[in-house]
Structure 1
Amino acid sequence: MNLRESVIEKVLSGCPNLECLELDSVWGIHRLEISSVKLRKLIIKKYEDESNDIWFEILVPYVHNLQLLGSCNSISLRNVASLVTAVLYVDFDLGDGDEFRKKECSCLKELLHSVAHVENLDLGPWCIEGLSILELKGWQPSPSSRKFLKLNAAIVQLDFPGLCSFLQSSSDLETLVIDWHNPEPRAFGFLMNFEGRELHLLFSFAHRGLLSRYTNEDEQSRRFKTHNFNGSLLHLKTIKVFNFDGSLSGNKSVLQLVKYLLKNATVLEKFVIAAKFEGSDESQDYVKMAQDFQSFPRSSLHASVVFSY
């Protein structure tokens, strides 16, 4: 929809009790300011603009739940102090070339800094991929107060340094939930609710092109093993993995991730992994995985590890 700021103002003034506003395929505005005290949830699905040089400013001082979904140009969040939940399922498609990539990194840093205070954070695949690109460039995420973190991504070994760095900035995190099922890793069309303060990661193992331009699997493996990613996850008590899928030979990187979590979650109480069972061919792999998971050292003496299929 082609909107002007005055149109939004008229809609809100005519609906004084409106609590949720969803805008789909927005273009034609560069600033969205909503001062309604009643509006608590704002969803923007795809923002387009012919110019890549102008930022789309969003000022929503009373909104509690903000969801940015789909392909977007540059978005800047201003005055979002009331946010409790932020969903950043965006893909900044600003073009090719180094200058565009610098701007994409700048956009991601801006967004992550703006939502460092939220309790519930949901990141899409593009954001996850960007974390490791930023980490390669020496960027460190701001310390956060998030208790729930959801990551939807096709996580591969390339992602580990950025992911671990981001987890270290989430020192108040309480629960980690991993949903491994992701038939279309780049598509979206679902949202999780944030009850239970969980961290949800959606994993699959498709290779991602943007990050591979900066590094490769071998280099990231060396970085993961040699870099100091030993910051303790001081409040992480529960880790749940659902819909795990695939053979051990194709998912060796999951062993590294599980080792990392068990080593650094110092007050962990429960680590549950529920795999999808699609045939007897996978059963031997799952038995071996279960044995490996049980044998991994853990920093919490109270942590139980359960693998089911």
Structure 2
Amino acid sequence: MRFRLKNISSVVRAYFEFYGIGDLRESDIYTSPESMVYLSQLFRSLQSVKELELGTLCTEVLSVLEMKGWKIPPDSARLCLTLNAFNHEGSIPGILGILKSSPYLETLVIEGEDYINYDEEGDLITRDPAVAYLTNGNLDLILNHLKTIKINSFTESVDGQPMLTLVRLLLKSAKVLEKMIVKDSIKCSSPKDATYLAKIASRLLTFPRASPEAVVMF
């Protein structure tokens, strides 16, 4: 079944999500060439939308497509972007893909969600392709208008990833960034937790910043 969105220039806010996680993980229907065309039409229809939110599965599908070389239609007018994303490396390609098509973006919000570890055959994105993308893919961003970044619960409990990788890329690209707020889901309930958070915050604060005015709060 196909549908089109027409004459919606007055729409201010839109939300995209895929439903049916079983189907998503059992077939490539959402990442087929036909689906790429379908998604492209939807994004073009919503290029004038100022506020866009993507659900976790939508971000994950975009990650697969980005690693396959598919690009989101560029030059959208969106000013505010909210991305719900699984907190693993596999979400980063999709995040970067949508950012590359958001030249006028002013506010970015990333809401992390715990990633369920399926067996290898059940994963839509396995670790190796995502790591290869982050090593060899085009990670350059042009964020000339991005002023505010909020990242919530996007850190795994071992080494601060994938949050640290994403923060590094954002800080070196956002030329007029004023404020970045990073909130970790881990609570300082023990000295070990406090030590971990201090270590992650220390690494975060060493990253180069394109904006001399950027304030980072952790």
TM-score class, shorter-chain normalisation, is 0.7 to 0.9
Amino acid at match of 2:143: L
Aligned residues: 211
1:84 and 2:15 matched: no
Identity, % of aligned positions:
34
- TM-score after normalising by structure 2: 0.83
Aligned partner of 1:287 in structure 2 is: 198
Of Structure 1 and Structure 2, the greater strand share is in: 1
Distance 2:63 2:106 in 1: 23
Cα shift at 1:278: 4.8
Cα shift at 1:286: 0.3
Gaps of 5+ in 2: none
Give the CA RMSD over aligned residues. Answer: 2.7
Q: 1:218 to 1:245 in 2, by over 3 A?
A: closer
Aligned partner of 1:253 in structure 2 is: 162
Amino acid at match of 1:149: L
Distance 2:45 2:85 in 1: 21
The one of 171, 174, 179 aligned to 1:262: 171
Aligned partner of 1:167 in structure 2 is: 99
The one of 227, 235, 239 aligned to 2:149: 239
Aligned partner of 1:8 in structure 2 is: none
Aligned partner of 2:127 in structure 1 is: 217
SS for the counterpart of 2:86 is coil
Deviation per CA, 1:8-57: give whole Å up to 9, x if none.
xxxxxxxxxxxxxxxxxxxxxxxxxxxxxxxxxxxxxxxxxxxxxx32x3
Gaps of 5+ in 1: 1-53, 58-75, 179-200
Deviation per CA, 1:58-97: give whole Å up to 9, x if none.
xxxxxxxxxxxxxxxxxx3222222111112332679555
Distance 1:210 1:117 in 2: 39
Distance 1:158 1:246 in 2: 13
Q: 97-106 or 282-291, which moves further after superposition? A: 97-106
SS for the counterpart of 1:252 is coil
Cα shift at 1:129: 1.1
Q: 1:217 to 1:293 in 2, by over 3 A?
A: same
Distance 1:210 1:137 in 2: 19
Distance 1:237 1:100 in 2: 33
- TM-score after normalising by structure 1: 0.60
1:146 and 2:55 matched: no
1:128 and 2:59 matched: yes
Of Structure 1 and Structure 2, the greater helix share is in: 2
Cα shift at 1:157: 0.9
Cα shift at 1:303: 1.0
Rg larger for: 1
* Map 1:184-199 → 2, pairs under 5 A: none
Contact 2:89-2:161 within 8 A present in 1 as well: no
Aligned partner of 1:204 in structure 2 is: 114
Deviation per CA, 1:108-164: give whole Å up to 9, x if none.
333222212210001111211111122133211112110011111214211222221
